[in-house]
A and B are shown apart, each in its own frame.
Chain A
Amino acid sequence: KQEVTQIPAALSVPEGENLVLNCSFTDSAIYNLQWFRQDPGKGLTSLLLIQSSQREQTSGRLNASLDKSSGRSTLYIAASQPGDSATYLCAPWNRDDKIIFGKGTRLHILP
């Protein structure tokens, strides 16, 4: 059964810093992995989808990497801003199976 762990569970950093959020998963036979952000009480916004054949995906200040063999993905946020404050979730997908989410990293950017 796939297990997904996100570390750290919470993170507070000053505005302007670069930061890395981690996602690890136990079953490396994934088809892809998706990163989301969620604001309190709101829905999920897709940030990046990285296919199993890819090593990286970039969108603006966000960069996601994937190391399938070691069961790890990272989300890099450059030059953080207060508007980046949210919970970040990762979800690896095994294609013909259920989808398991990590519990998320709650990020607070200090102005």
Chain B
Amino acid sequence: EAQVTQNPRYLITVTGKKLTVTCSQNMNHEYMSWYRQDPGLGLRQIYYSMNVEVTDKGDVPEGYKVSRKEKRNFPLILESPSPNQTSLYFCASTYGGEQYFGPGTRLTVT
């Protein structure tokens, strides 16, 4: 089954404790993205990658890092999380402009 998986689905952490949210797709798509979704602000792209070892900033990249060492995986790294990064995060992969979304990760930073 074609899918995008994210882990963990829920995470509560404390300020400053490094964390990684994993994203994996099994469709061999080249383009992958990370988004955050906040009430009143909608979905905003954090980073995107058009292929292995190619990453670019989206609209809100500050405080985040990504890597793309292999086509299927696109982890999101928060080196020093802060409360303003509390949000719902989505990973997506894209083929031919059609986006396929993961189920989301709800992150709370206290």
Hey, which bits of chain A sit against chain B, CB under 8 A?
31-32, 34, 36, 41-44, 46, 49, 51, 89, 91, 93, 95-96, 98-104
- Indicate if the CB atoms of B90 and A43 lie closer than 8 Å: yes
- Indicate if the CB atoms of B99 and A43 lie closer than 8 Å: no
Q: Could you mark each residue 94-110 of chain B with 1 if its beta carbon is under 8 Å from any beta carbon of chain A, else 0?
A: 10111111111000000
A39 to chain B, nearest CB (A): 12
Q: 4 new A-B pairs (CB below 8 Å) besides A93-B94, A95-B97, A96-B50?
A: A31-B97, A32-B96, A44-B99, A46-B98
- Indicate if the CB atoms of A49 and B45 lie closer than 8 Å: no
Which of B88, B99, B100, B102 contacts A99 (CB under 8 A)?
Answer: B99
State in angstroms the CA–CA spacing of A75 and B94 once bound together: 21
B45 to chain A, nearest CB (A): 5
State in angstroms the CA–CA spacing of A34 and B94 once bound together: 11
The total of Cβ contacts below 8 Å across the A-B interface reads 56
In the complex, chain B residues whose CB is within 8 Å of the CB of A36: 101
Interface centre among A42, A101, A103 (most CB of B within 10 A): A101
State in angstroms the CA–CA spacing of A18 and B72 once bound together: 41
Hey, which bits of chain B sit against chain A, CB under 8 A?
33, 35, 40-45, 48, 50, 56-59, 88, 90, 94, 96-104
Chain A: CB-nearest residue to B33: A99
CB within 8 Å for A34 and B98 given contacts A98-B48, A98-B58: yes
* List of 9 A-B pairs having minimum Cβ-Cβ separation, nearest first: A103-B42, A32-B97, A101-B43, A44-B101, A93-B97, A49-B98, A98-B58, A43-B103, A98-B45
Chain A: CB-nearest residue to B59: A98
B40 to chain A, nearest CB (A): 8
In the complex, chain A residues whose CB is within 8 Å of the CB of B90: 43-44
Chain B: CB-nearest residue to A89: B43
- Indicate if the CB atoms of A99 and B48 lie closer than 8 Å: yes
CB within 8 Å for A102 and B58 given contacts A46-B99, A91-B99: no
B107 to chain A, nearest CB (A): 14
- Indicate if the CB atoms of A100 and B101 lie closer than 8 Å: no
- Indicate if the CB atoms of A100 and B59 lie closer than 8 Å: yes
